A = this chain, B = another copy of it.
Amino acid sequence: MEHSKSATSTDRAYRQLRDAILSGSLPTDRKVTETGLASMLGLSRTPVRAAIGRLLIEGLLQRRSGSGLWCVLPTPGEMQEIFDIRARLESYAAARAAERASAEQREAVKQSAERMSRHVAALAKRSDPDIARRIEEENAFFHRLILEAACAPRLERLLQSTVDVAFVSLTLQRYSLGQRVRSAGHHHDIAEAIALGMAEWAARTMEAHILAAAASFRNRYGVAAETPQDDKA
């Protein structure tokens, strides 16, 4: 659940670079170099290159023709795309989980939903300054539980490595209290659908859950509703 403190240098480099890109501390308006990143991290180029390879696949870095390596943050349009993809894949995961989760897994999902409700209640009472982080972790845990219960290794890899969860939690951080209450309600609905083995209900609720997050993101970052006329990004 938490990052094990010491992994390989490659893993550390990957996480550090990803965080640096997502937090905006790496420039997106000029090119970066492998050597520069390596010396910034205090490592040789070898592990940094491996990390760069992963980030290239995930799309957070790009090699532009004849002008080096660039950090790339998803445009609002791409964020919408990411949410749409997640809605489709996670609803599939929810349906599979409803069909094949073990009894313990169904119980665990329900308990996660319960905990989430308590966290949100605590947030309303301002009783815990650290509660926002707890909510985010609980949310990630909930989705991970379902993904595991879905018993779908390929789906898991796709969701984990290519459409980054960090984007979603970025959105979650800005939820209003009302949104959080409703989001916790979604978790309850999904948990119940999975517990009862109702795949279609689970899938549609998960879809709605993620599209709600997408809508919230759109509101925040000011991309008005999708215009029929094509805006090239």
CA distance A163 to B157 in the complex (A): 10
Q: Which residues of B contact A162 (CB under 8 A)?
A: 154, 157-158, 161
B82 touches A154 (CB 8 A): yes
Query: Does A78 interact with chain B (Cβ within 8 Å)?
Result: yes
A92 touches B85 (CB 8 A): yes
Min CB distance, A6 to chain B, in Å?
16
CA distance A228 to B197 in the complex (A): 11
- Interface size class of chain A, counting residues whose CB lies under 8 Å from the partner chain: 20 to 34
B54 touches A154 (CB 8 A): no
The verdict on A153 contacting B59 (CB below 8 Å), with A88-B88, A92-B84 known, is yes
Min CB distance, A108 to chain B, in Å?
17
- Which one of B85, B228, B230 contacts A154 once the chains associate, using CB atoms below 8 Å? B85
CA distance A49 to B158 in the complex (A): 21
Min CB distance, A49 to chain B, in Å?
7
- Which one of B50, B74, B158 contacts A50 once the chains associate, using CB atoms below 8 Å? B50
B163 touches A158 (CB 8 A): yes
- Which one of B78, B154, B230 contacts A78 once the chains associate, using CB atoms below 8 Å? B154
Query: Does A196 interact with chain B (Cβ within 8 Å)?
Result: no
Q: State which residues 207-233 of A face B: CB under 8 Å.
A: 228, 230
Q: State which residues 83-123 of A face B: CB under 8 Å.
A: 84-85, 88-89, 92, 99-100
CA distance A54 to B49 in the complex (A): 12
Query: Does A131 interact with chain B (Cβ within 8 Å)?
Result: no
B230 touches A81 (CB 8 A): no
Query: Does A76 interact with chain B (Cβ within 8 Å)?
Result: no
A85 touches B81 (CB 8 A): no
Q: State which residues 10-50 of A face B: CB under 8 Å.
A: 49-50
Query: Does A155 interact with chain B (Cβ within 8 Å)?
Result: yes
Interface residues of A (CB under 8 A from B): 49-50, 53-54, 57, 59, 74, 78, 81-82, 84-85, 88-89, 92, 99-100, 152-155, 157-158, 161-163, 228, 230
Q: A85-B89, A154-B163 are in contact. List 16 more A-B contacts (CB 8 A).
A: A54-B57, A57-B57, A59-B153, A59-B154, A59-B157, A74-B154, A81-B154, A81-B155, A85-B92, A85-B155, A88-B89, A99-B228, A100-B230, A157-B162, A158-B162, A158-B163
